[in-house]
Amino acid sequence: MTKQFTAVSILLLLEQGKLSLDDDIKKYVENYPTDSSKVTIHNLLNHTSGIKDLPMMDWISFSATKKEYVAIDFINYAKKEHLSFKPNEKWDYSNMGYIILGYIIEKTSGMKYQDFLQKNIFDVLHMNTTYCRVGLPNALIKNRAYGYDKNDVYYNADFLEMSQAFSAGCILSTTEDLYKWNNGLQNNTLLKKETLQKAFTNYKLNNGEKTSYGYGFLIKDINGSESFEHGGGIPGFASHGIYLANEKVFVVALSNCRYNDPAYEAANIAALTINKPFKPKKELPLDKKQANEYLGDYKHATGTVLEISLDSLKLYVQRKDIKYRSRLIPFEKDKFYLENEFTTYEFKRNEKKEIIELIHKTRFKENKLAKQ
C-alpha cells in the first residue's frame, strides 16, 4: 500500500511543475538499459515499463543482512537486466519500478523520500501514527506490532531492514491513519480532483486491453461495484485497503501475520457493507485416487514452483521458496479454492485426460503453471 503514497507524491510534484508523467526515466537515472525504448514515469506508475522486478532470490540475498540500502543500490543492481518487454506492451507488477519512482521523488524534490512524505502528506493530514521506516532502523515506535508467519505453527517473522522495501513498501501505519489518508484523497486536500483522477484511471495497453491498474491502485469490483484497492505484504505483515467510490465506503484490514492475508476479510466486509455479500462455495468429497492425480510440482514462466501435496486426504498447495502451505478445497471437478481467500486453482487436462497445467486465479490476476 506504500505505492499509493509514492504515486500521490509523484502527482504532487506534477502539480508543482517539477516533472512530467511523460518524462523519460533516463532524465533521472543515467544509462538505464531501456533498449532504445522510452520508458516514462507513467509506465513506472502503471507497471507497464517492462522493467523486471528483483527476482525473489535476489531480494532474499539483499535482506539476509541488516544492512541499510539506498535506492541507487537497487537501481544499479537492476541495470544488469534489460527490459522484459517494450513499454506499454504488457502489464507486469514491478516493485523495482516503484523504487525508481522513490528515487525520482528525491531527485526532483531535493528531499529524502521519507522527509517528502512527512512534510507533504503525513503532517498535512495529521497522520500521527504513520512512519516511513527508512533511516529509522532502531527507532522505538509506541504500540508497534511484532510480525509473525506460519508454517504448521506460528513463528517469529524473518527480519527485514525496511530501507530494502523503500518506496515500494516501507510505510508503517494504522487503520485510523489510513482512514485519514483516504479522506484526504477524496476531499482533494492533497491533490486537485483532475490530478487525482489520473491515479484512478484504468489505463490501456497498446493493444487496447485494460490494465485494471491506475497509479498505485488496482481497479476492480466488489460484486459489481467498482473498487479502487491495493494490498501488500512483507515478512510478518500484510495489508489490504478497498475504496468503493459510488457508495463512499472505505475498508482497510491490517494483519501482523503475512500468512493470514487480510484481503479476504477486507473484501468480505466491503461486500457486506453495501449489501452484496459473497456466496460461499460448497465443499465436495475427494477420494484418494482423485487426489493423487493432482500431486506434483507446477512451474510458472517466472520460475516460481508450486507443490501440490496430500495429507490425510486433504490437498495442500505450497510455494517451494515459502515455508507455509494452504489447503485446497474442492468445489467442482478439477477446481479448488483456498479457505478465507478469493483464490481458485483449476487443473487442466489434455486429450488423454492427463493433468498438464494448473491455473491459479485471484480477484486480481491469473497465472498458468505447467506440470513438471
pLDDT, one tens digit for every residue, the chain (372 residues): 999 999 999 999 999 999 999 999 999 998 898 888 999 999 999 999 999 887 544 655 665 556 777 888 888 888 888 899 999 999 999 999 999 999 999 999 999 999 999 999 999 999 999 999 887 667 788 899 999 988 778 999 887 778 888 999 999 999 999 999 999 999 999 999 999 999 999 999 999 999 999 999 999 999 999 999 999 988 899 999 999 999 999 999 999 998 777 999 999 999 999 999 988 889 999 999 999 999 999 999 878 899 999 998 899 999 887 777 889 999 999 999 998 788 999 999 999 999 999 999 988 888 999 999
Q: Do 19 and 65 share a structural domain?
A: yes
Q: Do 261 and 151 share a structural domain?
A: yes
CB contact burial 82-120 (16+ within 10 A = b; e otherwise): ebeebbbebbbebbbbbbbbbbbbbebbeebbbebbbeb
Map the chain to HEC letters.
Answer: CHHHHHHHHHHHHHHCCCCCCCCEHHHCCCCCCCCCCCCEHHHHHHCCCCCCCCCHHHHHHHHCCCCCCCHHHHHHHHCCCCCCCCCCCCCCCCHHHHHHHHHHHHHHHCCCHHHHHHHHHHCCCCCCCCEECCCCCCCCCCCCCCCEEECCCEEECCCCCHHHCHHHCCEECCHHHHHHHHHHHHCCCCCCHHHHCCCCCCCECCCCCECCECCCCEEEEECCEEEEEEEEEECCEEEEEEEECCCCEEEEEEECECCCCCHHHHHHHHHHHCCCCCCCCCCCCCCHHHHHHHCEEEEECCCCEEEEEEECCEEEEEECCCCCCEEEEEEECCEEEECCCCCEEEEEECCCCCEEEEEEECCCCEEEEEEC
CATH code of the domain covering residue 297: 2.40.128.50
Q: Do 225 and 340 share a structural domain?
A: no
Around Cβ 215, how many Cβ atoms within 10 Å? 25
Rounded CA separation 360/296 (Å): 15
Q: Do 331 and 248 share a structural domain?
A: no
Q: Do 53 and 9 share a structural domain?
A: yes
pTM: 0.88
Q: Do 166 and 39 share a structural domain?
A: yes
Q: Do 343 and 296 share a structural domain?
A: yes
Residue 278 is assigned to a structural domain of this protein = no
CATH code of the domain covering residue 200: 3.40.710.10
Q: Do 44 and 141 share a structural domain?
A: yes
Q: Do 101 and 233 share a structural domain?
A: yes
Q: Which domain holds residue 364?
A: 288-371
Rounded CA separation 51/322 (Å): 24
Q: Do 41 and 154 share a structural domain?
A: yes
